[in-house]
Amino acid sequence: MHPLEERIGYKFRNALLLAEALTHPSLGHETQQRHFDNQRLEFLGDAVLQLVITEHLFHHFGTEPEGKLTKLRSRLVSRDTLQVRGAALELGKHLLLGRGEEASGGRERTSTLADAFEALIGAIYLDSNFEHARKFILEQCRADLESVAQEPVDINPKGDLQELLQSISPTSPVYETISESGPEHDKTFVVRAIWEGQELGQGSGRSKKQAETAAAEEALRLERWKKVRVKA
Protein backbone atom coordinates (compact mmCIF):
# COMPACT_ATOMS: atom_id res chain seq x y z
CA MET A 1 0.00 0.00 0.00
CA HIS A 2 1.23 3.49 -0.85
CA PRO A 3 2.03 5.57 2.28
CA LEU A 4 -0.48 8.20 1.18
CA GLU A 5 -3.23 5.57 0.99
CA GLU A 6 -2.51 4.69 4.61
CA ARG A 7 -2.59 8.38 5.51
CA ILE A 8 -6.02 9.02 3.96
CA GLY A 9 -7.53 5.62 4.74
CA TYR A 10 -8.37 4.84 1.13
CA LYS A 11 -6.96 2.02 -1.04
CA PHE A 12 -6.99 2.70 -4.77
CA ARG A 13 -8.22 -0.08 -7.00
CA ASN A 14 -6.44 1.58 -9.91
CA ALA A 15 -2.98 2.57 -8.67
CA LEU A 16 -2.34 4.52 -11.88
CA LEU A 17 -4.91 7.09 -10.83
CA LEU A 18 -2.96 7.82 -7.67
CA ALA A 19 0.28 8.04 -9.65
CA GLU A 20 -1.37 10.45 -12.08
CA ALA A 21 -2.66 12.63 -9.23
CA LEU A 22 0.86 12.92 -7.83
CA THR A 23 2.63 13.68 -11.14
CA HIS A 24 3.42 17.35 -11.65
CA PRO A 25 3.43 18.72 -15.25
CA SER A 26 7.09 19.72 -14.87
CA LEU A 27 8.15 16.07 -15.15
CA GLY A 28 6.89 15.74 -18.70
CA HIS A 29 8.07 19.21 -19.71
CA GLU A 30 11.58 18.49 -18.52
CA THR A 31 11.93 15.07 -20.14
CA GLN A 32 10.20 16.28 -23.33
CA GLN A 33 8.32 13.01 -23.39
CA ARG A 34 4.61 12.44 -23.41
CA HIS A 35 3.74 11.76 -19.82
CA PHE A 36 0.51 11.95 -17.89
CA ASP A 37 0.23 14.61 -15.20
CA ASN A 38 -2.33 15.73 -12.66
CA GLN A 39 -3.81 18.70 -14.53
CA ARG A 40 -6.88 16.88 -15.87
CA LEU A 41 -7.56 15.27 -12.48
CA GLU A 42 -7.15 18.68 -10.85
CA PHE A 43 -9.79 20.06 -13.22
CA LEU A 44 -12.18 17.25 -12.29
CA GLY A 45 -11.39 17.41 -8.58
CA ASP A 46 -12.04 21.14 -8.50
CA ALA A 47 -15.57 20.56 -9.81
CA VAL A 48 -16.27 17.77 -7.31
CA LEU A 49 -14.90 19.89 -4.45
CA GLN A 50 -17.04 22.87 -5.45
CA LEU A 51 -20.18 20.71 -5.55
CA VAL A 52 -19.53 19.04 -2.19
CA ILE A 53 -18.78 22.34 -0.43
CA THR A 54 -21.73 24.06 -2.10
CA GLU A 55 -24.09 21.27 -1.05
CA HIS A 56 -22.77 21.33 2.53
CA LEU A 57 -23.19 25.10 2.84
CA PHE A 58 -26.65 24.98 1.27
CA HIS A 59 -27.88 22.52 3.89
CA HIS A 60 -26.04 23.92 6.93
CA PHE A 61 -26.61 27.64 6.35
CA GLY A 62 -30.29 27.54 5.46
CA THR A 63 -30.99 31.20 6.26
CA GLU A 64 -28.03 32.78 4.47
CA PRO A 65 -28.53 34.47 1.07
CA GLU A 66 -26.66 33.44 -2.07
CA GLY A 67 -24.07 36.21 -1.76
CA LYS A 68 -22.92 35.15 1.70
CA LEU A 69 -22.85 31.48 0.71
CA THR A 70 -20.60 32.42 -2.21
CA LYS A 71 -18.21 34.23 0.14
CA LEU A 72 -18.07 31.23 2.44
CA ARG A 73 -17.40 28.85 -0.42
CA SER A 74 -14.64 31.11 -1.76
CA ARG A 75 -12.96 31.02 1.65
CA LEU A 76 -13.19 27.23 1.85
CA VAL A 77 -11.81 26.50 -1.64
CA SER A 78 -9.17 29.26 -1.85
CA ARG A 79 -5.64 28.38 -2.92
CA ASP A 80 -4.31 29.10 0.57
CA THR A 81 -6.91 26.87 2.22
CA LEU A 82 -6.26 23.99 -0.17
CA GLN A 83 -2.51 24.43 0.27
CA VAL A 84 -2.95 23.90 4.01
CA ARG A 85 -5.00 20.76 3.33
CA GLY A 86 -2.37 19.44 0.93
CA ALA A 87 0.44 20.20 3.37
CA ALA A 88 -1.43 18.45 6.18
CA LEU A 89 -1.42 15.28 4.07
CA GLU A 90 2.27 15.83 3.24
CA LEU A 91 1.46 15.64 -0.46
CA GLY A 92 4.67 17.49 -1.29
CA LYS A 93 6.92 14.61 -0.38
CA HIS A 94 4.95 12.21 -2.59
CA LEU A 95 4.93 14.36 -5.74
CA LEU A 96 6.83 13.40 -8.88
CA LEU A 97 8.51 16.61 -10.05
CA GLY A 98 10.99 17.73 -12.67
CA ARG A 99 14.43 18.56 -11.29
CA GLY A 100 14.03 22.26 -11.97
CA GLU A 101 10.70 22.42 -10.19
CA GLU A 102 12.09 20.55 -7.21
CA ALA A 103 15.17 22.79 -7.03
CA SER A 104 12.95 25.89 -6.96
CA GLY A 105 10.91 24.67 -3.98
CA GLY A 106 8.03 23.15 -5.90
CA ARG A 107 7.17 20.63 -3.19
CA GLU A 108 6.07 23.46 -0.87
CA ARG A 109 4.59 25.82 -3.48
CA THR A 110 1.01 26.86 -2.69
CA SER A 111 -0.32 26.27 -6.21
CA THR A 112 1.38 22.86 -6.46
CA LEU A 113 -0.03 21.55 -3.19
CA ALA A 114 -3.49 22.99 -3.87
CA ASP A 115 -3.57 21.43 -7.34
CA ALA A 116 -2.37 18.08 -5.99
CA PHE A 117 -5.10 18.09 -3.35
CA GLU A 118 -7.75 18.70 -6.01
CA ALA A 119 -6.20 16.05 -8.27
CA LEU A 120 -6.38 13.55 -5.40
CA ILE A 121 -10.09 14.30 -5.07
CA GLY A 122 -10.52 13.70 -8.80
CA ALA A 123 -8.62 10.43 -8.58
CA ILE A 124 -10.75 9.16 -5.68
CA TYR A 125 -13.91 10.13 -7.56
CA LEU A 126 -12.87 8.18 -10.68
CA ASP A 127 -11.59 5.23 -8.68
CA SER A 128 -14.81 4.88 -6.69
CA ASN A 129 -17.79 7.23 -6.80
CA PHE A 130 -19.11 10.60 -5.68
CA GLU A 131 -19.95 9.42 -2.16
CA HIS A 132 -16.39 8.29 -1.46
CA ALA A 133 -15.05 11.58 -2.79
CA ARG A 134 -17.59 13.49 -0.70
CA LYS A 135 -16.61 11.59 2.45
CA PHE A 136 -12.92 12.34 1.82
CA ILE A 137 -13.56 16.06 1.24
CA LEU A 138 -15.74 16.53 4.32
CA GLU A 139 -13.26 14.66 6.48
CA GLN A 140 -10.26 16.66 5.24
CA CYS A 141 -12.10 19.98 5.45
CA ARG A 142 -13.80 19.35 8.79
CA ALA A 143 -11.76 21.95 10.70
CA ASP A 144 -12.41 24.63 8.09
CA LEU A 145 -16.12 23.83 7.97
CA GLU A 146 -16.36 24.06 11.75
CA SER A 147 -14.48 27.36 11.65
CA VAL A 148 -16.83 29.04 9.19
CA ALA A 149 -19.80 27.77 11.18
CA GLN A 150 -18.51 29.66 14.23
CA GLU A 151 -17.41 32.90 12.53
CA PRO A 152 -19.67 35.59 11.04
CA VAL A 153 -19.69 35.37 7.27
CA ASP A 154 -18.74 38.98 6.63
CA ILE A 155 -15.70 39.21 8.91
CA ASN A 156 -12.90 40.78 6.87
CA PRO A 157 -10.29 42.30 9.22
CA LYS A 158 -7.88 43.32 6.44
CA GLY A 159 -10.61 45.05 4.48
CA ASP A 160 -12.00 46.74 7.59
CA LEU A 161 -8.55 47.98 8.62
CA GLN A 162 -7.77 49.36 5.17
CA GLU A 163 -11.12 51.12 4.92
CA LEU A 164 -10.70 52.67 8.36
CA LEU A 165 -7.13 53.87 7.76
CA GLN A 166 -7.90 55.27 4.34
CA SER A 167 -10.60 57.40 5.92
CA ILE A 168 -7.72 59.04 7.82
CA SER A 169 -4.98 59.03 5.18
CA PRO A 170 -4.51 57.83 1.57
CA THR A 171 -1.79 55.47 2.82
CA SER A 172 -2.74 51.79 2.93
CA PRO A 173 -1.37 49.33 5.51
CA VAL A 174 1.30 46.90 4.35
CA TYR A 175 2.07 43.43 5.72
CA GLU A 176 5.62 42.25 6.38
CA THR A 177 6.61 38.66 7.17
CA ILE A 178 8.73 38.61 10.33
CA SER A 179 9.47 34.90 10.51
CA GLU A 180 8.69 31.41 9.23
CA SER A 181 9.16 28.38 11.47
CA GLY A 182 8.37 24.69 11.62
CA PRO A 183 8.65 21.87 9.06
CA GLU A 184 7.70 22.54 5.46
CA HIS A 185 4.37 20.74 5.75
CA ASP A 186 3.35 22.56 8.93
CA LYS A 187 4.88 26.04 8.91
CA THR A 188 3.92 28.94 11.14
CA PHE A 189 4.18 32.46 9.73
CA VAL A 190 4.43 35.63 11.81
CA VAL A 191 3.42 38.86 10.07
CA ARG A 192 3.12 42.49 11.18
CA ALA A 193 0.85 45.23 9.86
CA ILE A 194 2.68 48.51 9.14
CA TRP A 195 1.08 51.89 8.47
CA GLU A 196 2.96 55.16 8.02
CA GLY A 197 6.08 53.58 9.56
CA GLN A 198 4.23 52.38 12.66
CA GLU A 199 3.62 48.75 13.60
CA LEU A 200 -0.10 48.40 14.26
CA GLY A 201 -0.24 44.71 15.12
CA GLN A 202 1.24 41.24 14.72
CA GLY A 203 -0.34 37.90 13.93
CA SER A 204 0.56 34.29 13.24
CA GLY A 205 -0.96 31.54 11.14
CA ARG A 206 -0.33 28.43 9.06
CA SER A 207 -0.29 30.55 5.91
CA LYS A 208 0.76 34.14 5.22
CA LYS A 209 -2.86 35.01 4.54
CA GLN A 210 -3.98 33.72 7.93
CA ALA A 211 -1.13 35.56 9.64
CA GLU A 212 -2.02 38.82 7.86
CA THR A 213 -5.65 38.43 8.94
CA ALA A 214 -4.53 37.90 12.55
CA ALA A 215 -2.28 40.97 12.35
CA ALA A 216 -5.18 43.06 11.07
CA GLU A 217 -7.40 41.77 13.89
CA GLU A 218 -4.82 42.83 16.49
CA ALA A 219 -4.40 46.22 14.80
CA LEU A 220 -8.14 46.83 14.99
CA ARG A 221 -8.14 45.85 18.65
CA LEU A 222 -5.12 47.99 19.69
CA GLU A 223 -6.00 51.09 17.59
CA ARG A 224 -2.39 52.28 17.60
CA TRP A 225 -3.06 54.58 14.65
CA LYS A 226 -4.77 56.95 17.10
CA LYS A 227 -1.48 57.40 18.94
CA VAL A 228 0.32 58.03 15.64
CA ARG A 229 -2.16 60.78 14.78
CA VAL A 230 -1.90 62.36 18.25
CA LYS A 231 1.92 62.58 17.97
CA ALA A 232 1.62 64.06 14.50
Sign of CA dihedral 99, 108, 114, 86: positive
Single out the residue of 90, 184, 81, 188 nearest to residue 141, CA to CA: 81
Q: Is 122 within 8 Å of 50 (Cβ atoms)? A: no
* H helices present in 12-94, as ranges: 15-21, 25-31, 39-60, 66-76, 79-88
Q: Calculate Rg over the CA atoms of the chain.
A: 20
- Could you list the active site residues? 46, 118
- Interhelix angle 208-222/79-88, nearest 10 degrees: 120
d(CA 118, CA 41): 7
Single out the residue of 225, 27, 214, 184 nearest to residue 91, CA to CA: 184
Q: Is 18 within 8 Å of 12 (Cβ atoms)? A: yes
Single out the residue of 212, 186, 209 nearest to residue 78, CA to CA: 209
Query: Could you tell me where the beta strands, DSSP code E, fall in the chain?
Result: 174-181, 188-195, 198-205
